Structure formats: C-alpha cells, structure tokens
Structure 1
C-alpha cells in the first residue's frame, strides 16, 4: 500500500476550515443563487399560464319510484362497486366521448391542441431530455393526444364520485370542456340504455308470438288428454271416481254402524222375551208408540181395579172384567214386543245386504280411482307445462309493454348525476411565480453551498493529520530503494473477512509504531530475508513479486518474507502462482484447496479461496484445484483480482516461480517491488541475467534476495549488480 493510501487513512476532516470556506465564498454563492433565481423567474414569467376547472359526477340510481317496474325495489337494483366505478372512469376518457367534445369545440383549430409549436417550457423540457418530443401523426391524433394530456379523470376514494379536471390556457375553455365531457358521458349512458331497451323490445316481439302459440298448444293438449282419459272433475277440482270412492266409503261406514246397532237391539229384545222378563224395561220396546198406548191403558185399568176394590169384592163381575182386560193388554204388549224384535232383525238383515253391495261397489271404484290417479299425474304435468308457458307469456307481455312505453316516451334516465359543474377559474394554477422563485432561490443556495463544501473537501484543504500520527512522506521525497528507508508505516487495515463484495474496501485502524532499523545494503545489491521483510514494511510497497529462477526450492523465500511481514503487524496475503504449489504447500500442508485457478474459472469466490497460514497470521491463496487451461482462458481477470486484493491487504506477495519479465508484466503496478530469490550462490550468474532482463523490460531496481551469508559472484564485464 502506498503512502497516499496511508495518508487518506490517517487524516480527519477539519470542520472549521470546511465551513470557513463557505463564509469566505458567500458572495460567489449568493451571486450564483441570484443568477439561477433570475433565470427561473424569467422562465416562469414567460410560461403561458394554465387554468384548471373540475366537474363532479355521482354514480347513483336515477329511477323514479313511480316509474320503477312492479316488484323491483331500490335495494334490488345493483349499484356499481369500486371496479364498476373505475370502468366508468375509463369510459369517460374513451375516444368516442373525447372526439365528440373535440368536434363540438373545434379544438383542432386551437394552437394548444394542434401541436404546432408548444409552450416555451415544453421546449426546454424536450431539449433537456425530461420530456419526450411530440410524435408525428394525423391532426385528429394530435388533438386527442393533447386533449388527454390536459384531461384528468379519477374516482374519489371510498365513494362513487368521479371528478373530471381539465387545464387550458383559456379559463373559459377550462370550465366548458369538463362540463361538456360530463354531458357527453350522460348522453352516452342514456343512449346505451335506449339501445339496450330497443334491443330488448325487438327481441321480445317474436318471442311473445312464439309463446302465444306454445300456450295454445299446451292448453289444447290438456283438454284433449282430459277428454280421452274421461277424467271428470267433481267438487274441489278432484276426479269424480275419487270423489265417489270417498262418498261410498262414508256410506259403508254408516251402514255397518246401523247393522251393528240393529243386531244389538234385536239380541237384547230376544233375550228379554225368552227369559220372560218384563219388556217394559227395554227402551227399544218402549220406543214403540203402540206399546206406549197399551201401557197407558194398562195403568188406567189398574187404577180402576184399585178404586173398585174399596167397595166391591174380588169376584165381583166388574172387577173380573177389568182384570180380564188387563190380561189382554199384557198379551198385546208381548205380541207387540215380538213385532219390534222382528223389525230389528229385518233391519239388521237389510243393513247386512246393503253392506255387501257397498263393498262390491267400493272395490270397483278403487280400481277406477287407481287408473284415474295415473291419468291425473300425466294431466297435472300437462297443466304445469301450460301454466309455465302462460306465466312466461304474461311476464314477457308486461316487460314488453314497459319497454315499449319507455321507448315511446323516451324516458330512460342514466344512473349518473352531475352535482357540481365547473365554473370559470379566475386564477391560474400554474405557474405560481412567487413560490417557484423562492423555492429556486433556497434550492440554489443549498446546492451552491454543498458544491463549495465538496470542492473544499476533495481539494484536501479541509483535511488535517490525525492527532499523534506523523504526516506521511510524499512519494516524490522517498529515498532510493538501495538506501534504508526511514519512513515508518503506522496504519493497517482491520482484520475483516474478504469476499467478493468487500474485498475492494480497505478499512484502516490504529496500530502501534513498528520499530525500524536501518536496512544495510548488501554486497552486490544482495539482501537477505530479514532485510527484504524490513524493506516491504518500511517502504510502503503494496505489492511484491517474487521470481524464483531456480524453481520450487527458491520459492521458500517468499513464504519466509510473507510470514516475517505478517509478524510485524501488517495484513499480508501470499498468492501462489507456481505450477506445483511450492509456496502454499508448507503453509497449508496440502495443495488440495480451492485457489486462484478456481477463482479464475468462476468456480469459487474470494471467501472460498483465501486461507490462513498454519504458523502465522499470513493469508494464502493456493494454486487451486481447477483445470489450469480453463483458468488461463480468464487470465485477463488477474489484474482486476490483484487490484481487489491490494485494496484489502497492506502487502500482497506473489510467488511467480521461474517466470520472466513478459510473464509478470500484467501484475506490475506503481507500488510494486520485484524480487528475485536465489538459494544456490553458484547460480549467481543466472540471477544477474534475470536482473538485467527485468531492467531492460522497464522494471526499476529489481532486488536480489538470498539467505544470509550467501554472496553473489562478481558481475560479468559490462553488467551491473542489482
């Protein structure tokens, strides 16, 4: 990470100096605000004033109680719901109604509807890209388009009220148009009802004729079937056979009762006569008028005998004569009782014979009634069909007469009422010059003040170093890389998880100063592991590229340097670009981890490929397990990945293996250190050739790193040691 990045992390905003710039530059801010306000005032003053008026409609039932169809109440008529009212809003803005109103007012000859020029404000909006340019079309399309732009129709929430608003340059026209649109809508509704009524009348006429014929046919079938089946109707509209069966059942019951009564009476009289009991105690015998007269004569004779017995003896001829008459009366009473018994017996026999006749007749009527009931079922079905046809005919006739009368008298009220008509507005609703000018002045003051603050902030004049932290040394004042650096790095990013979303956001935190010891220059420009670590810590390099001409053995230098720098407190990441994973193997114990090839092949994210060293706080991105060929196809993404890692880490160390200058060109940046690691001192000439190759390729001051105590051989003639 370079010193500029450190500087941004170690400074605060000087609020006093920041707001002092506003006080110093207030004349310029005020002048700019006045200029902008003047322009806004000029624009609003030249804008053609617009007037707006509105008409209100109420969706309700307009049918009178005197003309309402019979049997229909107001509660039975459907009232439009929210969707229905919204549909009426769309109907008001239909092309039919708007075209009719546009023709009535001849809007095609008005400039604001013809679309020839347009207002100055509209032209500015079109030029600024805030409004689309007018689309070419026919004159009627232009008028309708302009009409719809100025017309607003909406429903008042939670009500059946529809508001029609219209704006125009002419205040009189602004009031007349919504009224005309409302009248046209009411007329369309009435016409729709009239058309519906006419269509219903035209449909009912032939339907009524057909129904009349069907009613005649149904009633004729009823009469014909009744005549063929001999289904005569008696009282209460019942079949005669059924009625006779009911009457005969009643008579049979009475006959059985009479027979039972006569049999019982005959048995009682017979028992009394056979036992020699007095028949005068039997109510059936005493009911006979003759016996009653004989009984009266017997009483008289007994009375006479009693009277004569007081003066005459019992053998007196008169008393004997009276007693003889009394005996005759007893014989007559018994004889008459026998006749009563014979009468009862005859009555019982007659009732029995009548009962037999009635049973026979009852059986015959039962069979006839069963047949009649079956025929009655069919007859009732025919009658129901005829009745249904008759009721439908009567209903159609009633509706036809109502529809015809409404059409003749032209009484078809629409279910809408205009309860508030638009009046000519006296003041324009746009533009409001004073409020717009005041708002423009306040907004311009705020904008200019914010712009001044941002300018002061981005210029760096409002920045100050953090208390207790020395100001960083500018990049131009750095010492040459061959000499020890005295600048101490004092800030590092906090340890945060690195992923695809936050890897490029560095977060800095305070850390104690790192004690720095001067870097001693080695012979032939050679430095050891400790000096290389100190150089990276103190030099401010954000990226270090290690090249190992000897192969995997020399890759250990990058691992040692990465661990040493991590121990100093910096956040370090080692990126292993070797083919065998020589740098990541001693740090992870295995190369079977997701790494840079997985990231390039889009098989993993940053959080999946960054691992922690087993023996230090250093992070490592291994080679990975993806197909190298597939990963190399996305090699162009490597510089972007390096930029993200450099933003998240203090130092990014890249082990490039036995690469050359062409291979590392895409990894170079302005704050990159290039180091060549050597293990075998006998291979010094190879190292010198690599250093010369890097210099010729544009790499400034590449550094040779070797273990402590190893010395490089003298450079060949004509070559300089690194």
Structure 2
C-alpha cells in the first residue's frame, strides 16, 4: 500500500538532530576517510613521476630601421592577435613535430610507444571496440600522437608570448624538447624568409628588365611629341606661346593707360588755352623746360617792374619797356603751350596706333595658346605615364637591391625570439603526494558527511513539525511517519455476539447506522472514545469494516495502550505500528497492514517504547493530515481518553463517537457530558448490540493489502 505525504510543507529541519547524526556516525566517517586517504596516498606514491618544463617565445619584428632601405619598422602584418594565434598552430604542426622527433630520436624512448605495445587492460578495451589498435598506425604517427599528448602550446592572453610546455618521465628530456621545438620554429621562420626572399629576387629580375624597356619607350614618346609639336618652353616650364600671350596682355594694358593719360592731359590744356585761364598748373605745361625758363624770366621782369614802380611813374620809358617784354613772354608761353598740346595729341595718336597693333598681335597669340594647350594635355599624359613607369622601376630596383644584399650577406632575421629557455625541472609536477592526499581526505570527509546528513534527512529523524503553519493535506506519499499516542485502553473484548437489540433510551445507534451516517456526512475522520474500556474498541472495528465493505478506502488507527482495536484484525501482535513511527524506527509503508477479514487497513500500536514515543506527540497532526489525504475515512480508536486530549486529532470533517456497551454505565454519561462541556456537542453514541459480524474467512479468502 503506497501512502502519500501530505505534511512535507509543514516540516522544518531539526538542525540539532541533523548534526547529532554526524557525532553518532563519526567512527564510520573517519574510517572511510582514512581508507580513501590511504588509497590516495598509495596511488600518489606509486604513480610514475612526470616532469614539466616550458619555453617562452616572443613574437616581434627583429628588423631595425638601420637595415631597411625605407628607414621604417613596419610590424603591422604579424603582430596582431590573429597572427600570433597562427604561429601557435605552426608550432604545433605535424611537420615541425616530426622534425623534432627525428632530431631527438624520440621513437627510441619507451614512453612514446613507437612499438605499439599495450597493456592487458588496453588489449581488452581494443577487443571490446572501446579503443583503436595502435599497431594499425605507422610508428611515426604513434610517436606524434604520444608527442601531442605530452605537449601544450598556447598564447598568453593579451600578449604576443607563446608558451611551449612539455611533460616527460625524464626531466632532462622535458627541458630539451621545448627548447628543440623553439629552435626548430625559429629555423623554420628563417627558412621561410629565405625562400620568400629568393622568390622575390627571381620575380623582380625579369620585371625590372621589362620596366626598363617600358620607361625608355615612354620617355622617347615624350621627346618625340615635344619636338613634333614645336612646344617651346620658357621660364617656369611654361609654353612660350602662353608666356608671350601673358606679356602682350601686360603691354596692351600699359599702352591703354598711356593713351588715356595723354588724351586727358591734351584735353585739359586745350580747355585752358581756349578759355584763357592759367596753364601754370597743367602737368604737360609744367613738364616743358622752355616754358619753365620763360616763367622764370616773367617772374624776374615782374620783380623789376615792382622795384622801379617805387621810384618811377607808370609812364616812365623803362617801366613801359619792361611791360612790353612781359607781354612778349606771355605770348611766347601761350605759343609754347600750343606746341605742348600738339605734342600731346601726337603722343595720344601714337599710343592709339600701338594699341591697335597690340590687339591684333594678342588675338594671334590667343589662337596659338589654345593650340599649345591641347598639345600640352597630350604631352602631360605621356609624361605621367613615363613618370609612373619610372617610379615603379625605382621601387622595384630598391626592393631588388635589398633582397640581393640580404641574400649575399645571409641576413634574414626571424620575427620571433626565445626569451626564456626551458631548464631541467628539479621536482615533478605530478603526482603531488601531499596535495592529493589532503584533497582525498577532505573530499572523503565531505562526501561521507553529506551522505550521513542525507540519510538522516530522508529517514525523517531530522524533521520536526512547523510551529506556525497548519498541516498541508495535498501531498501524497509521506517519507516519514511521526505519530503520538492519544490515550490508553484497559482491556479488549471480542465480538459481543448475537444478542437481541434492547431498547436504546439514550439515543445510541447501531453499527450499520453509524457507518451510513459517516458516509452520508462525508466525514474524513471518526474519533471513537470507549469509556467502558477495551470492550468498546469492538465498535470501531465493526464500523471500519462496514465502511470498507461499502467501497471506501478506510484505515483504523489504534491509539490504545493494549492494542485492543488492532489485535483482532491482525494475525500477529509483533507488527510495527504507531509507536515505531514516533520513535523514527519505521516509515508509513512499514506500519500500515491489511485487515484479515476485510479491505480495511490498520495501524497497530507497535513494538517501540511508549514513553519514548510520547515525546513525539506533537507530530500527531501531521500524521493525521497525511492519512486523511491517502484514505477516504480514518477511524481512530482512543479508548477511555479525556476530551481535552482529542484536540490533536480533530480537524476538518471530523465526527466524535462514543462507544456504548452497557447503557447504564456511569462512565458513558460522564464522557458524554465531558465532551459537550469542551465543545463536542455533535458527538453521538454507537453500540454494537444487534450487529452480526462477518464469518471468519478461510486463509485463501483473506484480504491482501
């Protein structure tokens, strides 16, 4: 019969009881830990010692600015993360490892398993198909496979450092192998550079020859075009026609300015002469030397007239003579001004003629400049082609000279260097006896402690009911079974027999009526109190069998001290029961038994110490909730119990029943009054009088749980 746990959510872990299990089983825990530690110590002591050494390689550009023709150090193509990772794969490549294995003759060492010999266990695994046969592989492949198992190559994070680790049973070999791998890798890089340099030299030689011919042809085309197009070059590498056009434009501007100035001056002189105004301030007049001398003479005559006027009269012959000379000077000045005007007109006409000539010449040079411009475009295209071929040739020549010099001088530095070589290790890295032994001891202690705690927890001995929550009734199949004894009985009576039913003056009902009443009310619990002693327990048995015969899942829980309710239902009194559950000596599946004469189930009193079991009486509500969930009706026989002790058993749809054997017994009335006084007003009386129990079945007819 599977029973369901409805109280898991209502339990707390008893830490004290849980920890006490460790103290109780400390000898077993210590013994297992010591055995495991001894086995680990023996394994670590007898295992083959392995030594490990490592070599560190730095990936960097070994080229300097003094050995490069362009005087710069470009390492952008090899110093990125992907480049370093690629070098890790190169170091672990099969070709490099095969070369190192041949150089060190690793095939002659037993630990590399070149012979293909396997142990008996390995041979059995091969026969079972769990392992491939190493004999099927070539000896060199077997060596490389063992080599890879002992080799570790990795890049240090966020750096350009590559670590090469190797483990071996021989400490000297553990240091020699990574150093040999590093040397082989450096040589491999240098060889790759030599090959690349040779390939570059072989490719550059014919390319340089072809480019030299192309450059000569391009420069020849430039010279031929320049001579055929008559493109003369003046100052600043400009075409002669373009330069002359610029000079004519400047000359034309100058002539235009001179003509405009001459015309303006002539116009001013002409207006001054025509208007009779003074011409002394005119620029053209002032520029004439004769007019300047006449002006000086005129000034001198005026000064003499002024001096003589102080002593002589105006009609004096000398004064008249001086005034006559002054008038002649004015006429000469005006005559000379007319000549100046004529000169200005002549100068303006000449400038005008020169301007016409310059305009005609300028137009001619414009057409010539346009033609030259078209030819210059074609010439520049030819020059650009020649310059591009020349630059490419020069760059090829630089690279060729660099490659040739490196080849002749044998200077090809590898882009890596070994900055930390492996040394012979003094101590093995495996096995570490002390750490392995200590770890085995600690781990075995923890595992055994955990196993002990789990076993104690699953047994239910480390669980206690929660103090602040109501029991939960929706969990099936409990893993523990704490319970409590509610009361004790004094005696037990067999079936009352077939006595005629008397008149019931106290309102008690028969067993059949009680069963029907419990079924009709949908009761989940029926608490029987037998104030007359063990004889009253027969009523609970009869009602339980009657309800079970009606098809309901029924359980009878015997809480009497003598087992009066369960003894007639079982064939043996040594069955485990409720007291064993309270003492954590059994589980539900151990204490639930089948009735010999019906489909009812029964939990007997049990075989454990009642006094010890009473200490777990607080778990009784959890037990009742679990049983109520698993069964349709749980009938509890309490014997002559006190009404106050029934509180742990009453919950939900519970009926309280008083078993009556003799109607006039004072204990029945006293119990009825006591129940009503504490609130059980619905308690009713049941008597087995007039009940005919079923016949005892044959052994083959007994119910099986």
Q: TM-score by structure 1 length?
A: 0.60
Write out aligned runs for 1:227-626 (5 A): 227-298=227-298, 328-440=328-440, 494-496=472-474, 514-515=526-527, 531-533=549-551, 536-538=554-556, 569-571=628-630
1:515 counterpart SS class: strand
The alpha-carbon deviation at position 254 of structure 1 amounts to: 0.9
- In the alignment, the residues of structure 1 paired with residue 261 and residue 175 of structure 2 have an alpha-carbon distance, to the nearest angstrom, of 104
Contact 1:43/1:121 (8 A) holds in 2: no
Which of the pair has the greater relative contact order for Cα pairs under 8 Å at 6+ separation?
Answer: 2
Alpha-carbon spacing, 1:518–1:222, altered in 2? closer, same or farther (3 Å): farther
Alpha-carbon spacing, 1:126–1:276, altered in 2? closer, same or farther (3 Å): same
Partner residue, 1:642? none
Partner residue, 1:166? 166
Contact 2:4/2:629 (8 A) holds in 1: no
The alpha-carbon deviation at position 277 of structure 1 amounts to: 3.8
Contact 1:55/1:164 (8 A) holds in 2: yes
Alpha-carbon spacing, 1:567–1:288, altered in 2? closer, same or farther (3 Å): closer
Partner residue, 1:477? none
The alpha-carbon deviation at position 184 of structure 1 amounts to: 1.0
Root-mean-square deviation (Å): 5.2
Question: Does 1:56 find its partner at 2:68?
Answer: no
Higher alpha-carbon deviation: 9-18 or 199-208: 9-18
Alpha-carbon spacing, 1:120–1:433, altered in 2? closer, same or farther (3 Å): farther
Partner residue, 1:487? none
Alpha-carbon spacing, 1:20–1:334, altered in 2? closer, same or farther (3 Å): closer
Partner residue, 1:717? none
- In the alignment, the residues of structure 2 paired with residue 401 and residue 530 of structure 1 have an alpha-carbon distance, to the nearest angstrom, of 112
Alpha-carbon spacing, 1:110–1:298, altered in 2? closer, same or farther (3 Å): same
Q: Deviations over 1:527-578 (max 9, x none)?
A: 9767434663349699xxxxxxxxxxxxxxxxxxxxxxx99944479xxxxx
Partner residue, 1:108? 107
- In the alignment, the residues of structure 1 paired with residue 284 and residue 155 of structure 2 have an alpha-carbon distance, to the nearest angstrom, of 99
Question: Does 1:99 find its partner at 2:84?
Answer: no
1:537 counterpart SS class: strand
Partner residue, 2:612? none
- In the alignment, the residues of structure 1 paired with residue 210 and residue 278 of structure 2 have an alpha-carbon distance, to the nearest angstrom, of 87
Write out aligned runs for 1:184-199 (5 A): 184-199=184-199
The alpha-carbon deviation at position 214 of structure 1 amounts to: 2.5
Contact 1:266/1:344 (8 A) holds in 2: yes
Q: Deviations over 1:391-446 (max 9, x none)?
A: 22222222222222122212222221211111111222222334434544555666
Contact 1:514/1:568 (8 A) holds in 2: no
Q: Deviations over 1:274-325 (max 9, x none)?
A: 2334544544223222333444455566667778889999888887776666
- In the alignment, the residues of structure 2 paired with residue 165 and residue 113 of structure 1 have an alpha-carbon distance, to the nearest angstrom, of 16
Alpha-carbon spacing, 1:280–1:453, altered in 2? closer, same or farther (3 Å): closer
1:425 counterpart SS class: coil
The alpha-carbon deviation at position 227 of structure 1 amounts to: 3.2
Higher alpha-carbon deviation: 224-233 or 168-177: 224-233
Partner residue, 2:25? 22
Partner residue, 2:521? none
Alpha-carbon spacing, 1:505–1:135, altered in 2? closer, same or farther (3 Å): farther
How many residues are aligned here? 527
- In the alignment, the residues of structure 1 paired with residue 38 and residue 67 of structure 2 have an alpha-carbon distance, to the nearest angstrom, of 66
Q: Deviations over 1:591-612 (max 9, x none)?
A: xxxxxxxxxxxxxxxxxxxxxx
- In the alignment, the residues of structure 2 paired with residue 144 and residue 405 of structure 1 have an alpha-carbon distance, to the nearest angstrom, of 40
- In the alignment, the residues of structure 2 paired with residue 109 and residue 509 of structure 1 have an alpha-carbon distance, to the nearest angstrom, of 72
The alpha-carbon deviation at position 260 of structure 1 amounts to: 1.1
Q: Deviations over 1:184-210 (max 9, x none)?
A: 111112222222222222222222222
2:550 counterpart SS class: helix
- In the alignment, the residues of structure 2 paired with residue 320 and residue 171 of structure 1 have an alpha-carbon distance, to the nearest angstrom, of 145
Contact 2:65/2:72 (8 A) holds in 1: no
Partner residue, 1:206? 206
Alpha-carbon spacing, 1:88–1:514, altered in 2? closer, same or farther (3 Å): farther
- In the alignment, the residues of structure 2 paired with residue 287 and residue 17 of structure 1 have an alpha-carbon distance, to the nearest angstrom, of 138
- In the alignment, the residues of structure 2 paired with residue 143 and residue 532 of structure 1 have an alpha-carbon distance, to the nearest angstrom, of 82
- In the alignment, the residues of structure 1 paired with residue 305 and residue 19 of structure 2 have an alpha-carbon distance, to the nearest angstrom, of 167
Contact 1:252/1:359 (8 A) holds in 2: yes
Alpha-carbon spacing, 1:535–1:197, altered in 2? closer, same or farther (3 Å): closer
Alpha-carbon spacing, 1:225–1:427, altered in 2? closer, same or farther (3 Å): same
Contact 1:520/1:531 (8 A) holds in 2: no
- In the alignment, the residues of structure 2 paired with residue 449 and residue 246 of structure 1 have an alpha-carbon distance, to the nearest angstrom, of 108
- In the alignment, the residues of structure 2 paired with residue 567 and residue 312 of structure 1 have an alpha-carbon distance, to the nearest angstrom, of 169
- In the alignment, the residues of structure 2 paired with residue 73 and residue 166 of structure 1 have an alpha-carbon distance, to the nearest angstrom, of 34
Alpha-carbon spacing, 1:518–1:252, altered in 2? closer, same or farther (3 Å): farther
Higher alpha-carbon deviation: 233-242 or 138-147: 233-242
Q: Deviations over 1:109-166 (max 9, x none)?
A: 1111135588999979989x9x967733111011111111111122222222221111
Q: TM-score by structure 2 length?
A: 0.62
1:414 counterpart SS class: coil
Partner residue, 2:577? none
Alpha-carbon spacing, 1:313–1:448, altered in 2? closer, same or farther (3 Å): closer
- In the alignment, the residues of structure 2 paired with residue 336 and residue 378 of structure 1 have an alpha-carbon distance, to the nearest angstrom, of 62
- In the alignment, the residues of structure 2 paired with residue 333 and residue 7 of structure 1 have an alpha-carbon distance, to the nearest angstrom, of 148
1:417 counterpart SS class: strand
- In the alignment, the residues of structure 1 paired with residue 134 and residue 226 of structure 2 have an alpha-carbon distance, to the nearest angstrom, of 80
Contact 1:21/1:453 (8 A) holds in 2: no
- In the alignment, the residues of structure 1 paired with residue 375 and residue 299 of structure 2 have an alpha-carbon distance, to the nearest angstrom, of 70
- In the alignment, the residues of structure 1 paired with residue 430 and residue 117 of structure 2 have an alpha-carbon distance, to the nearest angstrom, of 16
Unaligned runs of 5+ in 1: 468-492, 498-502, 543-565, 574-615, 617-694, 704-722
Alpha-carbon spacing, 1:207–1:505, altered in 2? closer, same or farther (3 Å): farther
- In the alignment, the residues of structure 1 paired with residue 457 and residue 628 of structure 2 have an alpha-carbon distance, to the nearest angstrom, of 31
- In the alignment, the residues of structure 2 paired with residue 186 and residue 99 of structure 1 have an alpha-carbon distance, to the nearest angstrom, of 16
- In the alignment, the residues of structure 1 paired with residue 80 and residue 152 of structure 2 have an alpha-carbon distance, to the nearest angstrom, of 21
Alpha-carbon spacing, 1:439–1:301, altered in 2? closer, same or farther (3 Å): closer
Alpha-carbon spacing, 1:178–1:567, altered in 2? closer, same or farther (3 Å): closer
Q: Deviations over 1:217-241 (max 9, x none)?
A: 3323333333343332221112222
2:271 counterpart SS class: helix
